[in-house]
Structure formats: structure tokens, C-alpha cells
Amino acid sequence: MSNRLGGMLGGAPVIVLKEGTDTSQGTPQLLSNIGACISIVSCVASTLGPRGMDKLIVNGRGDSTISNDGATILKLLEIVHPAAKTLVDIARAQDAEVGDGTTSVVLLAGEMLKECRAFIEEGVSPHTIIKGYRKAAQLATARIQELAVSIDRSDEAAFRDLLIKCAGTSMSSKLIVSQRPFFSRMVVDAVTTLDPNDLDESLIGVKKVPGGAMQDSLLVRGVAFKKTFAYAGFEQQPKSFTNPKVLCLNVELELKAEKDNAEVRINQVSEYQAIVDAEWQIIYSKLEAIVKTGAQVVLSKLPIGDLATQYFADRNIFCAGRVPTDDMKRVVQAVGGSVQSTTSDIAPQHLGTCGKFEEKQIGGERFNLFEDCSAARTCTMILRGGAEQFIAEVERSLHDAIMIVKRAMKNSTVVAGGGAIEMELSRHLREHARTISGKQQLIISAFAKSLECIPRQLADNAGFDATDILNKLRMTHAQGNKWDGVDIDSEDVRDNMAGFVWEPSVVKINALGSAAEAACLILSVDETIRNEESQPPGGQGQPGGQKLPPGAAQRALKQRGGVPRR
């Protein structure tokens, strides 16, 4: 399309956009956007479900990532198509809000767009489709809330069992599925140590140690972090305490001369000696104040130098400097007390304590462990495994499971997975569509059909006959078996609620809402304006310069009668 927009003034066209601006609009543009989104869906569709495949993604630096997490794959693909980026955004939003269902939300959005493509080609207004999709999403969400099974939290054992099953369902499509019972219990133990009022998952530390088997992974009910940089004298310090007092500081304990930022004029050598003595006196006064507190473990965010390290070693005190901020935050949560920014006026309540502190070898690393903490509202998972890419994927899988357990604890309502809830919603929307007339009937039916993409893809990825499985599911749901879904183990359908394939209802509600909003957003765009060629005035190739289109310089010279230089 030309960039000469508007009417004619005195026979001259009115130019409102810069040269080089490319605009595309109308139905072809809308269909192009839908096509781009469908191609994105095809990248992640094969990762869905227990039999989903993994993707190996290599970036420009040669770093490789193996994953079947939808949000991770889309983030690493570096998609540049403006409309297709919407799918990346909803996957990230699903990951941040719920933690799981990132592949499902992309599949649902893509299938909704695919189902409405025929309507767009026939000339139906996008706003009519958007109205129908929003109505269908509201009906589906209301139906999920109606069907969701609420779990009785008064029975602790039954509730814990529910959380383990939800975590196991989340892991069914991951690399760690072979050790699902082991990791499910670990995740539930980790989340239940957090403060039930806020459930801040950032207080669950994850440390990766290459080597060993997956079963060698362990959960520390407290804090564990790698040994920090150590100075001379560190090896003389004790490495194990029972019921120690722990002091956390944000103080630098190094002998530093003030010559860099001060000017001192002296007349006698004794005056210079007094300045040197003052520098030593400052650090010794700090160290003496720390020793007087009775602390046996001293941690600091800032460096603890060789003088301080030897000083503490002589007095049987353990110290660690340059402790990462996240680890320090979790230590304070676990042992109590608070981080002090000065060594003066440290009161007993500022110190924390734990049942046991030790430094021990885990794999090829030395770790400092704080266990049996009285105020423990944090924990650390130490993951073991072969390749680094494998451990990184285990970490992503456990993050999904942690978020699922967190949501289940906050909401405690579940629905059956394995495509069961999607088939029930599809049946419900089809029945509703028969009660209305006009275009909305067809559009809500199309929305209902798009929900079937989840069980269909589950069956496809497992190598089953998807058409046969879907026909069985439609029949059983029509007969009132609302929790029937795909059975991966027997290549058939089964009651997935009885089979303990459970998911928190909030996962499905969030996925449906996000997918419908993304589809409506893409349908509402009918024009794309690219202004990549234009940059701020300046020299070409310089900051603020203008990049000329190919051949523009030659054309300009010809118009002026010049000859381009060779």
C-alpha cells in the first residue's frame, strides 16, 4: 500500500508517513496474522502431554537448551512477527501467574484462530467473532467453577495426598516422569515449609550440582549455599556446630587504607604511625564487637578479608563473606534475627539460631547447610543429575510443579486433566449453541470445537488414533461421564478423576481466559504499519543515522544526472 494517505490538496498528494514505511491492511493482513500464529503453535504442539517430545534449541552463541516447557521454548525462539509475539506474551503470563499450562494456552489460542479463519474468509466481521468468543469464554469459565471439586482441607493426610497427585500430573509430561513419586513428595514438602499466608516461591532455593543420579537430589529444610570465596585461615575454622548463634551482616570486614579518598598532612613520623594504628583499630573494634555477641557463625553480604578470617579462626568462629543476597534473605527467614549494617549495638534478638550447621561435600562442591531451623519458612532443593542441560530442565519441571502445588493450596479446587475438562466444556458449549440463533451459534460451536485440540493433541503425541479417541470421548460425555479423558497407558478413555489425573481449576480458568483474549486481540488487528527503515536524522551507519533502502542512492543519483562511483 502506498504511504500517501489522505486527500489531494491542489493536485498534490498528502504524505503523512516517512519514506520506507510499509503498511498492510484488510482481510489479507488478518489472515496473515492468523497463519503466523498457527505456525508458532505447530512448533510447540508436539510437546504436550506425557508422550510429548522435547525441543533442542541452540542459540547464536552455541548454548543448547533441551525443554518441553512451552514458555521456555517460545522465549528461546526469539519470534519477531508482531502478531505472533502475542502468543509468547500469554505463555509468559501463564507461566508467571500459574506456572503450568503454558503449552495448552498457546494451543488453545492457535486453535481458536484456526477455527475462525473460515468465517473471516467468508466476510464475517471480526467484531462478531470477538463477541461470540468472549461470550463462550465466560460460559466455559462459569462451567469450570460449577464442575470443580473442592477438597476438604481439614484432613491433613488427604489434602497432602491431593497436592502430591497435582504435582505428579504436572510432571507427567516432563523428563523427570520416571522419578515422579520422589519429586512429587519433595515439591510438596518444599511448598508446605513456606508461610501459608503468602507462599513466596522465591524462598525455595534451587542449587544444581552436576554428577550423580536424579535420586541423589535432596531437600534441605533450611538453607544451603555453595562455599563462598575463602581467605587464608578459613581451613582452621570449625565446620560444624550444634545450636549455633548466627549473625548476618552487611558490613565489610577488610583492612583498607583510607589513602584513596582522603588527604592528610603530617609533620612527624609519629603522626603517620597514629593514622596506621587507627586503621587497624577500626577493624579490630568491629571484630571484637562481633565476638562479644556470642555468634558462632558470621555471614556477610560484603567481603570478609584474611585478617578477619584468621581472627575468627583463632576464636573458633565460622565466617563466610560475599554471601549472595537471595541466600542471605533465606538464611534470615530460616534462622531468625535480621541483617545488621553495623557491628555496634547488636542485641541478642538480632541473632538467629538453627539446630545444626555444617559444611559438607555434595558432589564436586562444598556446601554450607543450616538445618533444623526454628523459624524455618524456607528450604533448599539440591538437584543432581548428569548433563547440565538435563539438570536445568529438571529445575524448570520442578518450578511448574511448585507453582501448581502453590495454586492448589490457595484454591483447593481441582478438575480432571487429560483432556477431560476440555471435552466437557466443548459438550456444554455445543448444547448452549443450539439454544441460540444467528451467527453466534456457529461462532460458539467453533469455540467448542477448538477446545477439542487438547485431547486430540494428547492422542496424536502418544501415537494413538486421535479420531477414534475423540469419537469415544464425545459419546461418553454425551452419556454424562463428565470426567472421561484420554488414557495414555491403555490407549483408551477413562475417568481421569478416579485415575488421579488432577489439575487445579485455576490453571484451566487462566488458560481459557488468556487464550480467548489473545485470539480476540489478534482478530481486532487489521493493519500492520512497519517503520523499520526510518531512523532519526544523522549519518548513515552512525547513532541516529538513517538506513537507506537498497538501491536508493543509485536512484537518487540518476534523477540528478550523476553517475554512481564504483
Active site residues: 69, 102-103, 400
Nearest one of 165, 197, 308, 201 to 247, comparing CA atoms: 308
Residues in the chain: 566
Residues 243 and 353 sit within 8 Å (Cβ to Cβ): yes
79-82 CB contacts, 8 Å cutoff, 24+ apart: 79/40, 81/36, 81/40, 82/528
CA distance 57 to 59: 7
For the four alpha carbons of 507, 510, 516 and 520, in that order, the dihedral sign comes to negative
Residues 243 and 212 sit within 8 Å (Cβ to Cβ): no
Q: Which helix (H) or strand (E) holds 245?
A: strand 245-249
Nearest one of 84, 89, 167, 41 to 456, comparing CA atoms: 41
CA distance 186 to 197: 20
Residues 106 and 44 sit within 8 Å (Cβ to Cβ): yes
CA angle 188, 191, 193 (to 5 degrees): 110
CA distance 68 to 62: 19
CA distance 301 to 229: 12
For the four alpha carbons of 174, 175, 178 and 183, in that order, the dihedral sign comes to negative
What's the first-to-final CA gap in the chain, in angstroms?
33
Number of H helices, E strands in the chain: 17, 22
Q: What nine digits make up the cell of 543?
A: 547513532
Edge to edge, what strands does the sheet with 379-385 contain? Answer: 204-210, 379-385, 218-220
Contacts of 155 (CB under 8 A, 6+ apart): none
487 DSSP 8-state letter: E
Nearest one of 346, 331, 138 to 228, comparing CA atoms: 331
Residue indicated by cell numbers 568462629: 317
Contacts of 154 (CB under 8 A, 6+ apart): none
For 250-285, b where at least 16 C-beta lie within 10 A, e where not — what string?
Answer: ebbbeeeeeeeeeeeeeeeeeeeeeeeeeeeeebee
CA distance 30 to 524: 8
DSSP-assigned states of every residue in 400-453: HHHHHHHHHHHH-EEEETTTHHHHHHHHHHHHHHTTS-SHHHHHHHHHHHHTTH
Compute CA 429 distance to the chain's CA centroid, rounded to the nearest angstrom. 32
